[in-house]
Structure 1
């Protein structure tokens, strides 16, 4: 930091402190917001981000809502900052404040989406991922936050772009013989599950549905061989055996029969979860047919799929089993399929919002989103079968009748 920048930084903070003493919160917010932008435009990263963090502190002190004006100021500063620990400090502070201001454990959805879109523009896809997930999580009824309507689509488009970039980089690896399009088609399902499974585990099923619909449609339009040559394809979801009479199956839910076992699993996982959710909402119970179909699906994919064994994806199976299918493991660790089958969840008590003395709600606990680890490319030498046969026999990963 130059001497001039340091002096300017100190003068801005001193001016804001005087304004805060007078309770002139709007003036203090403008002083620090404009100052942060000016510093960053001059390349003063440390000073600009420090003022951004101070802006968040002033918003907190003034009990300002996380409204459009506050979001725009924060996102503007984030967009001008470089990708380093200073910006991470600013983003973390902004998210913590938005949790408190919106009373949404995931933080203000529009702020999270705005941050995600800034990170996407600079191709910081991995950093953007959890912000997109948070933006799609349905806020509690006590929160003033709302899920942006376009969040699932924005998330899907980001994942499509990330997959494309990953495939292009992978195709340039030494010894790799497959081109980027083949790699992209093979890896597509893993990218879908990175988003789908966490969203389902966080009970954001409608966002998961919106995400997967856009993700598959974009890839199918790009890769003509992604969908298997069967008719019709896609086809409407049909209830599994034993659940034909379950109330309210998903309406207009289409199943694309693909040559990718991860995509097939993801679609069935989503369909069965939505069906179980609708059944519980209507009748208060989950038919055995849906439970059995879910168990069979997971068992099959556990044998034939790869992504299900990855940290961050495998962890979601017990949560989804409990949330949608009323199945609860009796032990916290061990084989998740055995645990899932060991017992069925009883009624249980409904959670109540705890309050401290005087009826004032307790502070909202931030939602912790466990992120799937960075994707690692499996080279052609490590996956000779896939190199010789790009589809690797994946067409048989989910039998056609399982999709009916």
Structure 2
């Protein structure tokens, strides 16, 4: 009785041999075709040699793109000839594949003109609407008119006698905070250590009154019973207040709302509240400027005292608002409608290019507007109140946006672009007759 084999090697080898046989036949066929191709190339080379001879030209003088000169050692249609062509094609293809030039779509002449015009419109708004916070006799010899819009904003929230209306008075009464000391009398033990702190400057120096960072410093002061401020010499103080050490638990739960209500009650007062982050400018104790040796901290404090507050920030914000609104309206009316029959990836690529086009136009408009603001400062004899904080902030933001566009990952865009290029070339080949 014969034993049954677990693995029948004869059968396995037989199947492998059967699969190798057609592969061997295929290789033989490829070698035969390769030999025929070489013979055909040699035949073509002989024909070209005859053409060179009839034309009295040297057949061995072939331009070598690697060395950028005539190479007498390369025969046309030889292996070296095709290798050189292959290398150059590879370099060209790699260059085309990795090229980023057309990934940032260029603006048309009309786009550029419109962007410049919009920037000039922003400059006009800056000159005739923003102006300076209020009427001022700058340097006691230049009479300069204030902004009519800021003047109107100053009438909101108060009655004819300049008192807060009922709503803001209610907020003022119900939302009292421990860090709201307006003079050094609130912390007599530190009175000699704090410089330049008085009713008109206390909101600027007191970090709890900052409309942005005040939520952090204000809550810390409310929980700790302290006052955090930066005085006129750039010294940071965190002063404890014994009266408010035991902060009620109910007030702690509603501390953010109490802080917000207190800030709102101060918005419509005579001095208002400072621009976000403006209190930190007291740290800028840099070299003095001008005839009176004013430091940056001194200048920014003077600007706040002359009405450079949140209300004027709203007025200054009209310039970037007009620029972005006009640019987006123009782009909306000039965009081509999406073809729903086109592939999704093409529509997404078009959307990316439209967004980049918008960002470039806004950047140009802001560039013109900040240039106009520089001109405005010169027209006002260097008055720092003409500095449009909102517009320069928008310009800085847009500059960062343009940098991010340059550094973005554009792999997907390259793939779509290259696929489109291949399709177009293939159509051209198919249309050749």
Q: Greater strand percent: which structure? A: 2
